[in-house]
A and B are shown apart, each in its own frame.
Chain A
Amino acid sequence: MRLHPPSVLLGLRDVLPMLLGAAPFGLITGASAVAAGMAAVDVTLMSAAVFAGAAQIAAIALMSSGAAVWVVLLTTFMVNLRHLMYSAALAPALRGESLPARAAMGAVLVDHVYALASLRFGQGHPSLVRRDYVLAMGVPMWLTWTAATAVGAALGAQVPRSWQLDFAVPLMFLALLIPSIRNRPGLVAALTGGGLALALRGLPFNAGLVIAALSGIAAGTAAEGVATALARKGGR
């Protein structure tokens, strides 16, 4: 495999500011996992293997409240469903790459890598080697995420309980939730999901979370249908 230095350099340059954002997220994830009762080595392995911040935080919260394995896995699936969209969006541009290269790019296709790649591919750089560009962003992202989690877990183990660092877990989700509400159907989805999750929290194995999330998705999709129909009516 021959690398194309300008494509690697462009990837490194584009990803650098993203690394500065991923590092604190990884630190907090490691520290809050330890606060929730996980071993430092376990959360570090988790970061290396899973490489998905939101899903990991969800899993940490669920496991500390005694959720069943299938609920954790189903939640991982739902929290990471957005990656299916990224994969579908980038697939046409990466069709020419070898199978191992496509698998490697799939492994590192996190939010920021997707956002930057779709931006650069859309600009039409004729000399850009897409594989090298994507991997030059994804690999440093993965290394930073794993290292930051390890440091956060090591530091978090020193933090006394009275600091209530376990509260970081819901806070992180709040920080991800609010920007994900982009329009009214999105708000409907969030209110339905949140409200039902509260109402059903007594169900065993946190099964209420799954029902609430699916209902929220359905409610958002239905609300979009209603909004589209109303707009069409108003336009006439």
Chain B
Amino acid sequence: MNRPELWLTIVGMALVTFALRASFLLAADRLALPPLLRRSLTYVPPAVLAAIVAPAIAQPSGAALGPFDLRLLSGAIAGLVAWRTRSIVATFAAGMAALWGLTWLL
């Protein structure tokens, strides 16, 4: 991605985000969410985040322990920590520590 394209992306992201956040604050009288759409919005975070995470973690990195890629193993450990702690910092620390530890072992 070249720089003008990158800036176009940033401006576009800013506009999309602002439109979503300000939508009802600016136009509550003219906007209404149908109930089905309102319910399906609840499932946006798990569906979207999983669709981003799965290919990123499963991508072969070239370093593996037997049949398991190091990043996949580290991701699994971080996932467990995320589940137990619900903390971004703890998940980050566990995942990076696992990746460094496994890389050092090999």
Roughly how many angstroms separate A179 CA and B91 CA in the complex, as a whole number?
A: 12
Contact A220 B21 (CB under 8 A): no
Assuming the contacts A46-B10, A52-B17, A178-B82, asked whether A189 and B46 have C-beta atoms less than 8 A apart, the reply is yes
Nearest A-chain residue to B53, judged by Cβ: A173
Contact B20 A216 (CB under 8 A): no
Contact A72 B13 (CB under 8 A): yes
Question: Taking the complex as formed, is A106 at the interface, i.e. its CB lies under 8 A from any CB of chain B?
Answer: yes
Q: Which of B73-106 contact A (CB under 8 A)?
A: 74-75, 78-79, 82-83, 86-89, 91-92, 95-96, 99-100, 103
Binary per-residue interface labels of chain B (44-60) against chain A in the complex, 1 for a CB within 8 Å, 0 otherwise: 11111111111111100
Roughly how many angstroms separate A66 CA and B100 CA in the complex, as a whole number?
A: 27
Contact B22 A103 (CB under 8 A): yes
Contact A76 B17 (CB under 8 A): yes
In this complex, the member of B23, B50, B53, B91 whose beta carbon has the largest number of chain A beta carbons within 10 angstroms is B50
Contact A82 B56 (CB under 8 A): no
Roughly how many angstroms separate A61 CA and B31 CA in the complex, as a whole number?
A: 33
Roughly how many angstroms separate A102 CA and B22 CA in the complex, as a whole number?
A: 7
Residues of B within 8 A of A38 (CB): 6
Question: Taking the complex as formed, is A196 at the interface, i.e. its CB lies under 8 A from any CB of chain B?
Answer: yes
Question: Taking the complex as formed, is A231 at the interface, i.e. its CB lies under 8 A from any CB of chain B?
Answer: no
Residues of A within 8 A of B5 (CB): 69
Roughly how many angstroms separate A91 CA and B89 CA in the complex, as a whole number?
A: 32
Residues of B within 8 A of A171 (CB): 75, 78, 91-92, 95-96
Assuming the contacts A83-B20, A185-B43, A192-B47, asked whether A24 and B88 have C-beta atoms less than 8 A apart, the reply is yes
In this complex, the member of A55, A102, A189 whose beta carbon has the largest number of chain B beta carbons within 10 angstroms is A189
Residues of B within 8 A of A58 (CB): 52
Determine chain A's interface SS by DSSP, over half rule: helix
Q: Which of A64-82 contact B (CB under 8 A)?
A: 66, 69, 72-73, 75-82
Contact B20 A84 (CB under 8 A): yes
Roughly how many angstroms separate A220 CA and B25 CA in the complex, as a whole number?
A: 28
Residues of A within 8 A of B71 (CB): 167, 170
Roughly how many angstroms separate A72 CA and B52 CA in the complex, as a whole number?
A: 12
Contact B44 A42 (CB under 8 A): no
Question: Taking the complex as formed, is A128 at the interface, i.e. its CB lies under 8 A from any CB of chain B?
Answer: no
Question: Taking the complex as formed, is A151 at the interface, i.e. its CB lies under 8 A from any CB of chain B?
Answer: no
Roughly how many angstroms separate A87 CA and B31 CA in the complex, as a whole number?
A: 11
Roughly how many angstroms separate A172 CA and B100 CA in the complex, as a whole number?
A: 17
Contacts A/B (CB < 8 Å), 10 sampled:
A49-B11, A58-B52, A82-B44, A87-B22, A87-B23, A168-B92, A171-B92, A176-B49, A178-B91, A217-B40
Q: A80-B21, A167-B96, A189-B46 are in contact. List 19 more A-B contacts (CB 8 A).
A: A49-B10, A50-B13, A59-B13, A79-B48, A82-B41, A91-B24, A102-B26, A106-B26, A168-B96, A170-B56, A174-B95, A176-B45, A178-B86, A186-B46, A193-B47, A197-B55, A198-B54, A216-B46, A221-B40
